[in-house]
Structure 1
Amino acid sequence: MIAIGITGNNGFIGSHLTNTLRLQPERYTIINFEKHFFDDKELLDNFVGQCDAIVHLAALNRHDDPEVIYTKNIELVNILADSLERTNSKAHVIFSSSSQEERDNLYGKSKKQGREILADRTLKNGGKFTGLVIPNVFGPFGKPNYNSFIATFCHKLTHGETPVIDNDGEIKLIYVSELAREIIARIEEKETKELYHVPYTSVKKVSEILEKLKNYKDAYFEKGEIPEIKDTFELNLFNTFRSYFDLKTHYPVKLNECKDERGAFVEIIRLGVGGQCSFSTTVSGITRGNHFHTRKIERFTVIKGKALIQLRKIDTAEVLDFYLDGNEPAYVDMPIWYTHNIKNIGQEDLYTIFWINEPFNPDDADTYFVKV
């Protein structure tokens, strides 16, 4: 069992890393960290003293005054280093830097100097140190106008705004879940690497990405069609885009129903990907599901009976309730990292059609059971 502490654990990268580690509770223990620990030596020392590895993600990324960014980031590094020395910690310290190190700005300067300071003081204290230089990171739940241009584009496209390209250059990218796995690999490696350039997983032009996102908006956001997804990058980008919906107002989506004297015809899904389609009958009062996925795209369509579909983002408390009735066929799609279930709240059997973008593989199910 490895005890891991993460500063900045509530941030974009930190929350994804935390949730990824929680998928293996038999291997990793997460030591709780709160922002105010930096202001309390006793609390910080107690945190540091419990950790086999510390991932230092806490940093100020944006401020009107660049000097404030520089000063704060160096201050946080020294506060952590002081605690390592007071507790005589031999923890493996992993520091998050960025490709901004190579640029002539105070944020980049704070990351480079912070890495060098923390490496020197950690190694002198007998610990191990890894300095990560990270390319541009994108993924679900990033803050628009803060974490990445992709977050900004996704938010604007799903909230009635028009994205604007400031500089159409080529960007080296890594998906946040890929970065989380990379950090975990460095923890497992248990070796000092004072400067480690995290490999990017794709290179794309800004305009190319915006074009794909506009296609997702037109096909999926407006029409409910699952677009063609050619590779892992496109799946990651699509799942990122989906995370910016206002779920409360977007779902459930009513389906077009064509009726005549013979009965009714309802198209459930149009898609540019394959996958697996199935259906279930559920007796009154029974609940199915209570699990989440980290990569899969899934749609629940109610065609008969009455259902309550519930969703909850796994690191939040709010439960979203969607009521569906087979008399007005409708669907709800399951965002990644949202645990979900479906309950028959009617008196008759509930008929539900399920579509998911990849066939079930018991050796790689991407299914984690957590009650909504």
Structure 2
Amino acid sequence: MRKIGITGQNGFIGRHLYNTLGLFPEEFERIDFNKDFFENNEQLDKFVAECDVIVHLAAMNRHESEQFIYDTNIALAQKLVDSLKRTNSKAHVLMSSSTQEERDNLYGKSKKEGREVIVQWANENGGKVTGLIIPNVFGAFGKPFYNSFIATFCYQLTHNETPSLANDGEVKLIYVQELVHLIISEIRSEKSNAELFIEPTATKKVSEVLALLEEYKSKYFENGEIPALNNSFEHNLFNTYRSYIDYKTHYPVKFTQHTDPRGAFVEVIRLGIGGQCSFSTTVPGITRGNHFHTRKIERFAVIRGRALIQLRKIDTNEVLDFYLDGTEPAYVDMPIWYTHNIKNIGDEDLYTIFWINEAYNAEDADTYFVEV
């Protein structure tokens, strides 16, 4: 079993990598990192000595002073190298850098020089190093106004703000989970590669991305329709957009009921995509679910009985409770990386419709069981 530590563990990419490694408990052991370790040689050395693999993601991306960014990133790389030397580590170090290495700015310069410092350590001390030259990364839970323009647009479009288009250039993009799986593949390979260029999985104009996000706001956020997702980029962008919705205030969404002497009719979901729709009854006191998905789009619709739907982002302790009653049919959509369940809290059978965007495949279920 490989012991893996991630500097920048609680950052955007670091948190996705940390959580994904947790899906392979028989292959990887995660060694926890805290940013305060960089200010304490004893704690940093203890961390480094425990690791077979270190993924160095800790860095500063934005600050009003470019010189401060440069000094900070160089210092972080040097502190890590000093600890590697003090502990006589032979770890495989994977260093995140940026395609901005090619540009004439202090951020790109700091990433290139930081990578070179770690490469030099590996060459002189028998370590392994992989320098990851990474394009623009987007994905769920990125920090708006910091990690990417996509994070900023998604936040604005889900919080009654209007994005502005300052520069409509083409941007090379990779989804954070695609990047994470590439990093894990490099860990498994155990090979050194001082300059590994990560290929983008999409190249888009900023205006193209904004147009898609505005469509998601109109169709999904405002009207509950799952839009057409024509390729993996659009699927990943849609899941990214959904992650910025304030679930506490947005759900549950009540359906529009059409009643006549025959009874009631409720439209559960409009689809630009297909998938699988299921129906269940649940006896009082029973709980279904307690699992999460990393890519699937799913809707729970209660049409009869009383239910408690609970969600918890898997690396937090906060549980979101939603109470639904079939007298006012409503739905809650399940965000990626949130474990979720549904419990019958009434005195009669609970009737629920479940929709998910892909048919169940036992060999690739994307379903991980964790108690809410």
Q: Does the residue aligned with 2:17 lie in a helix, a strand or coil?
A: helix
Do the aligned residues in 2 keep the contact of 1:173 with 1:201 (CA within 8 Å)?
Answer: yes
How far 1:122 sits from its partner (Å)?
2.4
Q: Distance in 2 between matches of 1:162 and 1:283?
A: 46
Local SS of the residue matching 1:332: strand
Where does residue 51 of structure 1 map in the other structure?
Answer: 51
Q: Residue 261 of structure 2 corresponds to which residue in structure 1?
A: 261
**How is 1:10-159 mapped onto 2 (pairs within 5 angstroms)?**
10-159=10-159
Give, in angstroms, the shift of residue 123 of structure 1: 2.3
Q: Take 1:62 and 1:240, find their aligned partners in 2: how far apart are those partners?
A: 21
CA distance in 1, matches of 2:351, 2:120: 63
Encode CA deviations 1:338-366: one digit per residue, 9 max, x unaligned: 00000000000000000000000000000
Query: What secondary structure is seen at the aligned counterpart in 2 of 1:363?
Result: helix
Deviations 1:231-268 (A, max 9, x none): 11110000000000000000000000001111111100
Conserved? CA contact 1:252–1:332, under 8 Å: yes
Q: Give the whole-Å Cα distance in 2 for the aligned partners of 1:364 and 1:337.
A: 16
Distance 1:337 1:18 in 2: 12
Distance 1:12 1:174 in 2: 13
Counterpart in the other structure of 1:283: 283
Query: How far is the alpha carbon of 1:40 from its aligned partner?
Result: 1.1
User: Where in structure 2 are there 5+ consecutive unaligned residues?
Assistant: none
Please tell me the residue identity of whatever aligns with 2:120.
Answer: D
Separation (CA, whole Å) in 1 of partners of 2:290 and 2:66:
45
In the other structure, the counterpart of 1:174 is: 174
**Pairwise CA distance, 1:35:** 0.8
Partner amino acid, structure 1, of 2:181: R
Distance in structure 2 (CA, Å) of the matches to 1:312 and 1:124: 46
User: Take 1:115 and 1:223, find their aligned partners in 2: how far apart are those partners?
Assistant: 47
- In 2, Cα distance between equivalents of 1:263 and 1:190: 64
Q: Amino acid of the residue matched to residue 140 of structure 1?
A: A
Does structure 2 conserve the Cα–Cα contact (< 8 Å) formed by 1:56 and 1:93? yes
For residue 114 of structure 1, what is the amino acid of its counterpart? G
- Partners of 1:255 and 1:226 in 2: CA distance: 15
Hey, what does 2:239 align to over in structure 1? Answer: 239
SS at match of 2:146: coil
Give the drift of 1:199: 1.1
Q: Does 1:183 align with 2:145?
A: no
Further displaced range: 289-298 or 98-107: 98-107
Query: What residue in structure 1 maps to residue 351 of structure 2?
Result: 351
What is residue 195 of structure 2 aligned with on the other side? 195
SS of alignment partner, residue 137 of structure 2 = strand
Deviations 1:5-59 (A, max 9, x none): 1000000000000011101111110011111111111111111111111000001
Contact 1:81/1:122 (<8 A) preserved: no
2:4 matched residue in structure 1: 4
Q: Which residue identity is paired with 2:185?
A: A
| Runs of 4+ displaced beyond 4 Å | none
Q: For residue 191 of structure 1, report the CA deviation from its aligned partner.
A: 1.1
Indicate the SS of the match to 2:130: strand
CA distance in structure 2 between the partners assigned to 1:172 and 1:64 by the alignment: 25
Q: Which amino acid aligns with 1:312?
A: R
Q: Give the aligned CA root-mean-square deviation in angstroms.
A: 0.6
Letter in structure 1 aligned against 2:257: E
1:216 match: 216
Shift of 1:165: 1.1
> Residues 59-91 of structure 1, C-alpha deviation per residue, up to 9 Å, x if partnerless?
111111111111111111111001101110000
Matched to 2:76, the amino acid is L
Residue 251 (structure 2) aligns with: 251
SS in 2 for 1:112: helix
Inter-partner Cα distance in structure 1 for 2:223 and 2:360? 26
| Inter-partner Cα distance in structure 1 for 2:192 and 2:229 | 38
Specify the SS of the correspondent of 1:274.
Answer: coil
| Paired-residue identity, % | 69
Structure 1 gap ranges (5+):
none
Confirm or deny that 1:321 pairs with 2:297: no
* Counterpart residue type for residue 322 of structure 1: F
Give me the whole-angstrom Cα distance separating, in 2, the residues matched to 1:32 and 1:21: 12
1: CA distance, partners of 2:127 / 2:222: 53
1:328-339 to structure 2, matched below 5 A, reads: 328-339=328-339
Deviation string for 1:171-199 (max 9, x for gaps)? 11000000000111111111111101011
Aligned length: 372
Q: Aligned partners of 1:64 and 1:171: how far apart in 2?
A: 23
Residues 140-169 of structure 1: per-residue CA shift (max 9 Å, x gap): 000111000000000101111111111111
8 Å Cα contact 1:84/1:122 also seen in 2 = no
SS of residue in 2 equivalent to 1:308: strand
| Match in the other structure for 1:363 | 363
Report the Cα distance in structure 2 between the residues aligned to 1:217 and 1:228, rounded to whole angstroms.
13
**Corresponding residue number in structure 2 for 1:229:** 229
Per-residue deviation at 1:287? 0.5
